[in-house]
Amino acid sequence: MTQNMMAKSKAKKTTILEMNRFDPSHLDELDEHKRSLIRRREILGKGYRLFYSDPIEVVRGKGSHVFDEHGVDYLDAYNNVVSVGHCHPHVVEAIARQAATLNTHTRYLHETILDYSEALLAKMPPEIDRITYQCTGSEANDLAIRIARNYTGGRGIIVTNEAYHGNTDLVSSFSPSIGEGQALSLEAGILPTPDTHAVGEDQIADYMVDAFHKEVARMRRHGIKFAGLLVDSIFSSDGIFPGKAGWLKKLADAVHEEGGLYIADEVQPGFCRTGEAFWGFARHGIVPDIVTMGKPMANGIACSATAVKHEILDAFNDRIPYFNTFAGNPVAMAAAKATLEVMDVEDIQGNALRVGNLFKERLRELAQSHPAIADIRGAGLYIGVEFDDPETGEPMSAQVLELIEQMRERLVLTSNCGSYGNIIKIRPPLVFNEADVNRYIEALQGSLEAIGL
C-alpha cells in the first residue's frame, strides 16, 4: 500500500454538504439584490444548492465565458453541457428555426431524427446499431439497467465507489456518491475507485479486475446473478481517473467472461471530451453492449440516448413498449444535430486534445513550485488536479474548497470532486483556447499564493 493509499484509507469522506455550496447563514453578507433572489429561492425547497459563498447570477453566456448582472466576465472551466460553447450561433439558430416550424413526437415520421441517428451511430463501433432517445442521462441509465437485466436475466449491477449515474429511484440506488441518505440497492456491487495516483497507473487494471471478480463472487453468494458493469470511463465523480488509454479493456473483457454486459456511461466522457477519441470507451478500444449519453449532446436542450446492439434492444422491445414524449422530438433533434455538426466542422475533438495537453503542461509547470499538487491527470479537457499534504499524503479537502472560492474571486469557475473533495475538476466548454488556459493558470497561481499552498 502506498503512503497516499494509507492516508486516504484513514481520511474522512467529504459529504455533498461540505462541497462547494452557498451557506444560507451567510445571507447577510450579500447585496440586497442577491439576498432577495436567494430568499425567493426558498420556493424551490432545500434541495436546490447554489455554488459559492457568494453565489453568481449568470445572465449571459458566449463561448467559454459567462457574464453576471453587472457584465462581469467569468471564465467558465466548469460547464460541460455547453460543450461547443455557450449559445453557439449554429445551435441557437437550429433551435429557433425548428421551434417555429414544428415540435411533436416520434409517432409521426420526421426526417431529422433519422439524419441525426445515422450520423451519430456512424461514430460508434458497427455492433452498436440501434439508438433510442430519452431526455436526461438519468433516464438513459435507468433504461440501460433495465435492458441489461432483461437480456442477461441477472439483477446485479456493478459500479465504482463514488459513482454517480443519475437521479431516478433505480439509478440513485447505484450512485454511491449521493451519500448515506440514499440507500444503495441490495443488488449493487461496488468496486473501489480506480485511483491511479494511489495504486499506480500500471497496476490499476489488475487491481480493478481482481476487485471485480471478487464482487461478482460475493453477489453470487447472495443469489444475485451479475447483469452488467456501469461505468464512466473517466471516473469523473470518483475523482477523475482516466488512466492510460487502453487499461479499461481488461475490465470490459472480465465483464463479458462473467456473462454480463458492459454499459458505457458516456454522459461525461462522450462527445469529444477526452480529445483522444469521440467516445470515452473508444479511448480504451472497448466495444460496449450499451452506451448511454446525455449532457453535452444538444448543447443544453434536454436530450439523451441509449445506443444498443440490436439483439439486446430487440429482446427488451419484444416485451416492453417504451415511449418517451419529449425524447427525440424535432427541437431536441435539431439542437443535437447542429451540435454534432459544430463538433465536426470546428474539430472540437482536436481542440480538446491540443488545449487539454497544453493545459496539463502548464499545470505541471505550476506544480514545480507548489508541492501540494500531488497529481495532474486527465484526458483532453477533463482534467483533475489532486492536492495531498506533501508530508503525509493526506487529502487536502478544506484547502481545495478554499481554492475554488479563491478562483471564483478571480473570476474563474471551476469545481472539485472525489471522495475527499481534494481534486480540482477542470471541465470547460470544449471551445476553451490557449488564452483561456493562461487566464486559468494565472488565477490558480494567485489563488494558491493567497492561501499559502
Among 28, 31, 32, 318, binds a second copy (CB under 8 A): 318
Q: How many residues does this entry show for the chain?
A: 453
The residues facing 425 across adjacent strands are 384, 415
Q: Does 31 bind a second copy (CB under 8 A)?
A: no
Among 2, 103, 433, 445, binds a second copy (CB under 8 A): 103
Cβ-based neighbour number of residue 259 at 10 Å: 14
Among 121, 398, 441, 450, binds a second copy (CB under 8 A): 121
CA distance 293 to 33: 38
Are 415 and 423 within 8 A, CB to CB?
A: no
Among 123, 165, 197, 295, binds a second copy (CB under 8 A): 295
CA distance 401 to 411: 16
What residues numbered 10-29 form the site for a second copy, per CB under 8 A? Answer: 16-17
Q: Which stretch binds a second copy (CB under 8 A): 124-132, 227-235, 278-286, 348-356?
A: 124-132
What residues numbered 241-260 form the site for a second copy, per CB under 8 A? Answer: none
Q: Which stretch binds a second copy (CB under 8 A): 245-253, 258-266, 313-321, 346-354?
A: 313-321
Q: Which stretch binds a second copy (CB under 8 A): 200-208, 321-329, 357-365, 392-400?
A: 321-329
Among 5, 6, 13, 37, binds a second copy (CB under 8 A): 37
Cβ-based neighbour number of residue 82 at 10 Å: 24
Question: Grid cell 474539430 — which residue?
Answer: 347
In 3D space, the residue among 251, 280, 285 whose CA is nearest the CA of residue 268 turns out to be 280
Q: Does 399 bind a second copy (CB under 8 A)?
A: no
Rg over CA atoms, the chain = 22
Q: Which stretch binds a second copy (CB under 8 A): 74-82, 220-228, 395-403, 438-446?
A: 74-82
CB-nearer residue toward a second copy: 212 or 316 = 316
Question: Grid cell 462473467 — which residue?
Answer: 258
Q: Does 273 bind a second copy (CB under 8 A)?
A: no
Residues 6+ apart with CB under 8 A from 178: 16, 164, 172
CA distance 242 to 374: 16
Q: C-beta of 236: minimal distance to a second copy in Å?
A: 13
Q: C-beta of 19: minimal distance to a second copy in Å?
A: 9
Three-state DSSP class for 224?
coil
Q: Which stretch binds a second copy (CB under 8 A): 233-241, 303-311, 366-374, 381-389?
A: 303-311
Q: Which stretch binds a second copy (CB under 8 A): 268-276, 305-313, 362-370, 391-399?
A: 305-313
Q: Does 43 bind a second copy (CB under 8 A)?
A: yes
In the shown chain, the binding pattern of residues 164 to 203 toward a second copy, with x for contact by CB under 8 A and - for none, equals ---xxxx-x-----xx-xx---------------------
CA distance 260 to 225: 9
Among 49, 214, 218, 222, binds a second copy (CB under 8 A): 49
Which backbone phi and psi does 346 adopt, to 5 degrees?
-95, 10
CB-nearer residue toward a second copy: 143 or 348 = 143
Q: Does 61 bind a second copy (CB under 8 A)?
A: yes
Q: C-beta of 351: minimal distance to a second copy in Å?
A: 21
Total residues contacting a second copy by CB under 8 A comes to: 102
In 3D space, the residue among 435, 438, 400, 437 whose CA is nearest the CA of residue 420 turns out to be 400
Are 234 and 280 within 8 A, CB to CB?
A: yes
CB-nearer residue toward a second copy: 95 or 287 = 95
In the shown chain, the binding pattern of residues 144 to 163 toward a second copy, with x for contact by CB under 8 A and - for none, equals -xx-----------------
Q: Please state, in angstroms and as integers, the Cα–Cα distance from residue 95 to each residue in 103, 332, 334, 341, 450, following that order.
A: 10, 8, 6, 14, 44
Q: Does 65 bind a second copy (CB under 8 A)?
A: no
CA distance 255 to 189: 13
Which backbone phi and psi does 405 adopt, to 5 degrees?
-70, -40
CB-nearer residue toward a second copy: 103 or 392 = 103
CB-nearer residue toward a second copy: 91 or 376 = 91
Q: C-beta of 448: minimal distance to a second copy in Å?
A: 24
Instruction: Report how far apart the first and last C-alpha atoms of the chain are (Å, whole number).
Output: 26
Are 241 and 377 within 8 A, CB to CB?
A: yes
